[in-house]
Amino acid sequence: MSTLEEQIKELEDELVRTPYNKATSKHIGRVKAKIARLKDEAVSRAMKAGGGGEGYAVKKSGDATAVLVGFPSTGKSTLLNSLTGTESAVAAYAFTTVTVVPGALEYKGARIQLLDIPGLIAGAAMGKGRGKEVIAVVRNADIIIILVDVFNEQHFDVLLKELYDAGIRINVERPDITIKKTSHGGVRLNAVGTLDLDIEEVRSILAESKIMNADILIRGNATQEDLIDAVQGNRIYVPAFIAVNKVDLVDKERYLEIEHDIAGRFGGMPLMISAAAGYHLEELKEALYDCLGFIRVYLKPHGGEADLEEPLIIRRGSSVGDICNKLHREFVQKFRYARIWGKSVKHPGQRVGLTHRMIDGDLLTIIVEH
Ligand SMILES: Nc1nc2c(ncn2[C@@H]2O[C@H](COP(=O)(O)OP(=O)(O)OP(=O)(O)O)[C@@H](O)[C@H]2O)c(=O)[nH]1
Ligand SMILES: [Mg+2]
């Protein structure tokens, strides 16, 4: 019996050999689904493997948690220290950081927890290096800063692959796919909008997970990978951006070359920084704040005036329930209703429930049982 890794390799080779067309799409879907299933199995085995993990339980704090992901010695700890005044050990050799070191960053009223972690290397998703611990922390973050240094821009492809293998999807929306298992009737597909997948591909992918009866609802377009992700069900969708560190060590020409190259491959401009020299760090904070999509909500006591001095900083898309959770752990249980003045409602003072989503600038009154 070959190992999981060998089986995955064989299937991946087969994929490379098989041209994609109408006749092969069904088979390709099945092979991709199988690879995803085996990889997930390898990842979850690696995550369960014993040993290590000491000091990795960092409690989330602040308004959002950002994590620094990069190869060893790219300057993650130096960056954490420059941004937050923390003292995470810095040294010119690999794996200086062996645990998670948190720091706190205040920017425009938002408190961002920044986590420095050990370097990530090829194979991390399957547990190589400190992969197990590192991936667990990354999966928990609200945003990822991918850090490469000017001498190793190719690391960037490896980092993206490791994140992908670990089920982390960056800068994409979760595909709108609902899978409802049924007891009979086969696989039925309901598509809202144009969908490039056909029913045979869908059946083939589901069959790989032994789902023979189900109602599938897909809103908008979706790829085979999207459907496989939905079937596997443990994917994480998180924003990320790239920073290139140590730009103090290259000349202007090389600087522009790297910037251009990464922008082309990532589809977005990287931030060109120097953690040690303090170059472009304000821009990095702004990028963090922007990418996290913070909004401000003002609390207005029942019958009183809103506190316009100290807004609550929350993530875009947060609901009244999210705010209740943040304010007090009993608020959700004792919640009766809320009133809102602002853009998220039609009438000033409109009554809303826990699932109502807030918009920047809203005033909010929460009514709880006493
Ligand atoms: N010239 C220059 N050197 C830097 C910069 N940032 C970090 N370094 C140096 O790079 C080396 C590695 O920095 P660390 O901050 O320890 O790197 P790390 O990514 O935390 O490394 P691990 O903990 O091993 O994963 C140290 O010698 C730093 O002084 C920078 O912006 N410019
Ligand atoms: Mg470090």
Query: For 18-63, how does the pLDDT look when each residue is reduced to its tens digit (9 = 90+)?
Result: 888 888 999 999 999 999 999 998 888 877 776 544 446 678 888 8
State pLDDT tens for residues 87-96.
Answer: 888 988 888 8
Kindly give the distance from the C-alpha atom of residue 158 to the centroid of ligand 1, in angstroms, as a whole number.
Answer: 19
Give 133 Cα–ligand 2 centroid separation in angstroms: 14
Question: Residue for token digits 């069904």?
Answer: 26
The residues, any chain, with a CB within 8 Å of residue 361's CB and separated by 6 or more, are 295, 296, 297, 298, 342, 343
Residue 136 CA to residue 125 CA, distance in Å, equals 10
Q: How far, in Å, CA of 4 to CA of 115, rounded?
A: 32
**369 to each of 283, 302, 324, 341, how far by Cα in Å?**
45, 13, 13, 21
Average pLDDT over residues 209-237: 94
Sheet with 187-192: strands ordered across = 176-181, 214-219, 187-192
Distance in Å, CA 149 to ligand 1 centroid: 9
- Closest ligand, as measured to the CA of 92: 1
Q: Is any atom of ligand 1 closer than 6 Å to the C-beta of 73?
A: yes
CB of residue 103 inside a 6 A radius of ligand 1 = no
Task: With H, G, I as helix, E, B as strand and everything else as coil, classify residue 207.
Answer: helix
Nearest to 74 by CA among 270, 289, 292, 283: 270
CB-based contact 316:293 (threshold 8 Å) = yes
Any ligand 1 atom below 6 A from CB of 78: yes
pLDDT tens track for 135-182: 889 999 999 999 999 999 889 999 999 999 999 999 999 999 999 999
Which of 80, 86, 96 to mutate to test ligand 1, by most ligand atoms within 8 A of the CB atom? 96
CB-facing half-sphere around the CA of 344: CA atoms within 13 A? 25
> What was the pLDDT predicted at 53?
46
